[in-house]
Amino acid sequence: MRVLLLGSGTSVPSALRSPPGFLVEGSDRCQLVDPGPGACHRLALAGFSPPAIDDIVISHLHPDHVCDLVPFLFSLRNPRWGKQVSWPRIIAPEGFLDFYRKLQIPFGGWLPAPGDDIEIVEWRGEGIEAGKFLLTAHLVDHIDSSLAWRWAEDGGAVLVFSGDTGPCDGIVDAATDADLLLLECSAPLGSAFDGHLCPESGSEVIRRSGARRVVLVHLNPECDQVDIVGQFDEDLIDRIEAGRDLESYET
């Protein structure tokens, strides 16, 4: 399993980090996760075209995690891809279908119709199969229905994405024994705010979950003004690194 980080930042403009988004590549599946602003163009920078995406996976419905969903789907209307569009399946939190139907009010037929054209799967507590992936999720402390996603591939490693979350049992449960954990860290020590992690609370998540390798994401600009990894508990630092845009991570 390979993760390609499209954006390691947040909604706050940064010269170093793009807004959230990453790719998960398995042996038979390619998934776009949290298509934040500009994700479509960063896909092109990484050498991917929209038809390569089998699924779109969403952690929650804040703008910095879904803003490029409409441009991505609209791009598949372009005649360069041929007349038969292969729409990706969308895997998302409960309530997404209502959100999507509201998007159809301004955009109408430019978006594929749910059920007829595009399959939308809302997580309701069950595992979701995607080729050789099994996706499971845990509710986390951010907004209602926010999810941390967990990927397990047949005979392979386990990847976990925290989404946006504050300290809670949900992220610990999701990340238990993960081979690779993409963990949000929105603020340095002393600057924590509700619904997000900092090095102190992030250290607790890593320690309790036993995650073996941790890549920090959702880094606000102030995180780049300090040694953010060095602010984590000293005995955990060897397994932590700060994510970098367009970097690949293998599990």
Reduce the secondary structure of 122-139 to three states and give it as a string: ECCCCCEEECCEEEEEEE
Mean pLDDT of 145-166: 95
Backbone φ and ψ of 152, nearest 5°: -130, 125
Task: Write the DSSP symbol of residue 179.
Answer: S
CATH number at residue 16: 3.60.15.10
Query: pLDDT value at position 223?
Result: 98
Domain count, the chain: 1
> 3-state DSSP helix/strand/coil percent for the chain, to nearest 5?
30, 25, 45
* Amino acid 155: pLDDT: 80
pTM score above 0.85: yes
Confidence class of residue 81 from pLDDT cuts 50, 70 and 90? Answer: confident
Per-residue confidence (pLDDT) for residue 85, from 0 to 100:
80
Structure tokens given for 247: 């970097």
pLDDT per residue as tens digits for the range 129-147: 999 999 999 999 999 999 9
**At residue 83, does pLDDT exceed 80?**
no
pLDDT of residue 156: 84
Q: Which token pair is 68?
A: 């490029």
**What is the bridge-based pairing of β-strands 89-92 and 120-122?**
parallel
Confidence of residue 84 (pLDDT cuts 50, 70, 90): confident
* Domain range enclosing 178: 2-250
Nearest 5°: the CA angle 237, 2, 44 is 115
